[in-house]
Amino acid sequence: MKSKFCKIHVLCHSLSGNIVHILTIANSPECGKHTKRKAVILTARVHSEKTNSSWIMKGILDYILGNSGKAQQLWDAFIFKVVPMLNSDGVIVGNHHCFLTGYDLNRKYKSRVKKSYPSTWYTRNTIRR
C-alpha cells in the first residue's frame, strides 16, 4: 500500500522485540503536527486470534487511501492514526486471546508500566496527544 498521504512509523517494540507499526494518514506533509483537526484512532489484532480484524483493517485502509472524493474529504477533516497489529507477539506465537504475559491487552490501557505493555502504553499516549 503506497500513498503520499500515509506515513509508516515505529510505535514501539514489543516484549519480544517485534516492531509495532503506527500509520499516520492525512493530507498534509506534516501529517497533523500542530493542527486543529481531530484524530481518528484505529487499532486491530489486540486479541491475536481474531484474524477477521486484519481483513476489516485492510478494507478500512483500502477505502481511506483510495482515490474517491469521500476519501479526500476524510483526509481534509481528520488525521488517522492506525495501529494495524497491536498484539504482534500474540499473533506471531499463536496465542489465543492474550499477550505474552498472559493478560488481555484490552485490560491494560490504564497500566503505567511501559516495559510490560508497550503497545497499549504507546497507543494510549498517542490518544492523549
Report pLDDT for 128.
79
Contact 119, 50 (CB under 8 A): no
Contact 37, 26 (CB under 8 A): yes
Report pLDDT for 109.
59
Report pLDDT for 102.
60
Query: How many domains does the structure of the chain reveal?
Result: 1
Comparison of pLDDT for 31 and 85, the residue scoring more: 85
Convert the pLDDT of each residue in 84-128 to its tens digit: 998 888 888 777 766 566 666 665 556 666 566 777 877 877 887
User: 4 — phi, psi (to 5°)?
Assistant: -70, -10
Report pLDDT for 45.
82
Report pLDDT for 97.
63
- Would residue 1 count as lying in a domain? no
Q: What is the pTM of this model?
A: 0.81
Q: Is the dihedral of CA 25, 60, 104, 86 positive or negative?
A: negative
Question: What is the distance between the alpha carbons of residues 97 and 90, in angstroms, rounded to a whole number?
Answer: 8
Residue 21: which domain range?
6-128
Q: What is the CATH number of the domain that holds 89?
A: 3.40.630.10
Which residue matches cell numbers 497500566? 111
Q: Is the dihedral of CA 87, 98, 125, 28 positive or negative?
A: positive
Convert the pLDDT of each residue in 60-77 to its tens digit: 999 999 989 999 999 889
Report pLDDT for 125.
79
Task: Tell me whether residue 118 is exposed, middle or buried, using C-beta atoms within 10 angstroms of its C-beta: 0 to 12, 13 to 18, 19 or more.
Answer: middle
- Would residue 61 count as lying in a domain? yes
- Would residue 17 count as lying in a domain? yes
- Would residue 40 count as lying in a domain? yes
pLDDT higher than threshold 70 for residue 83 = yes
Comparison of pLDDT for 82 and 49, the residue scoring more: 82
Give the C-alpha distances (Å, rounded to integers) separating 120 from 7, 42, 129.
Answer: 20, 13, 14
